[in-house]
């Protein structure tokens, strides 16, 4: 699938959001994980775009989008900006499918515009506070990257395993090696945006306190081997969000969309098919 021909740009605050716009039908806004980009969703775009219009932006400082704008300081700002993106292309109602930070700003967006967001799917995500121990660990990593203006090989060896099931390096060595190479490619100013975005994610506000306001259909999915977002967090969200559905993703780490793409496609098509005409 040639997605480059479907890539467009939205200018905001003198910065550019790069996004893919493909397919026809009810609209789905897809949000990718930290340190990845819209390519994380390619298997899902191929399946979903046969039935739906898929809008897939690159997060600030990721993929082909501009660095984080100065006035962007939290995930609610990100949600507000994506609402402006949807306004700019004339889309009133839409679903949100987000993995990790994509689900975090997705929940912010559902709270911000409850009459516009029709369904919400959150994969490998937690909308509560980041646990203090992991926040301190990740922030230290970000500080080191920024100071060195690179992600050194020894840190890549720490980060890469966090995103995949334990067997990925053996079962899917090309995927694992490509992510390692991607991390080693970060350098210079690009890491300033990574640092800023990471601090927003790991310092996010606690949306569990507002979970009772998430009254739309919600699907929560967690990889059984997700290290950054352990499955217990999915259970906590499921218990807090009335009427939500909860699905285990077998043999998957954090980037389940690439590790178990067929399973993810089936679950998303089933969930969305129940609510989107």
Architecture, CATH, for domain 4-129+205-275 = 3-Layer(aba) Sandwich (3.40)
pLDDT digits (tens, 9 = 90+) for 115-141: 999 999 999 999 999 999 999 999 999
pLDDT score at 188: 86
- Break the chain into its structural domains and give their ranges: 4-129+205-275
Query: Which parts of the chain register pLDDT below 50?
Result: none
Report the alpha-carbon distance of residue 228 to residue 70 in Å, rounded. Answer: 28
pLDDT score at 82: 98
Q: What is the DSSP string of 51-65?
A: TSEEEEEPPTTSTTS
Report the alpha-carbon distance of residue 63 to residue 179 in Å, rounded. Answer: 13
pLDDT score at 13: 83
Q: Is 116 exposed, middle or buried (0-12, 13-18, 19+ CB in 10 A)?
A: middle
pLDDT score at 189: 85
Q: How many CB atoms lie within 10 A of CB 46?
A: 16
pTM, whole model, 2 decimals? Answer: 0.97
Tally DSSP H helices, then E strands, for the chain.
Answer: 11, 8
177: left (phi over 0), alpha (psi -120 to 50) or beta: alpha
């Amino acid at each position: 699938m040639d997605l480059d021909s479907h890539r467009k740009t939205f200018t905001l605050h003198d910065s550019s959001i790069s996004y893919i716009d493909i397919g026809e039908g009810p609209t789905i806004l897809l949000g990718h994980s930290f340190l990845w980009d819209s390519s994380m969703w390619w298997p899902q775009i191929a399946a979903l775009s046969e039935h739906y219009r898929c809008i897939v932006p690159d997060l600030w400082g990721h993929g082909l989008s501009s660095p984080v704008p100065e006035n962007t300081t939290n995930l609610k700002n990100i949600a507000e900006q994506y609402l402006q993106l949807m306004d700019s292309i004339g889309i009133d109602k839409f679903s949100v499918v987000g993995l990790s930070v994509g689900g975090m700003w997705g929940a912010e967006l559902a709270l911000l515009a409850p009459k516009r967001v029709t369904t919400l799917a959150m994969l490998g995500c937690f909308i509560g506070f980041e646990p203090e121990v992991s926040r301190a660990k990740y922030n230290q990593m970000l500080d080191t990257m920024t100071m060195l203006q690179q992600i050194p090989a020894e840190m890549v060896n720490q980060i890469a395993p966090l995103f995949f099931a334990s067997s990925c390096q053996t079962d899917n060595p090309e995927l694992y090696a490509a992510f390692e190479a991607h991390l080693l490619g970060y350098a210079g100013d690009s890491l300033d945006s990574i640092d800023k975005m990471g601090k927003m994610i790991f310092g996010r506000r606690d949306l569990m306190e507002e979970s009772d306001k998430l009254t739309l259909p919600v699907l929560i999915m967690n990889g059984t081997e997700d290290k950054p977002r352990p499955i217990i967090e999915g259970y906590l969200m499921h218990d807090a969000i009335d009427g939500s559905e909860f699905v285990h993703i077998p043999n998957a780490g954090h980037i389940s969309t690439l590790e178990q793409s067929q399973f993810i496609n089936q679950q998303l098509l089933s969930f969305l098919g129940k609510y989107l005409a």
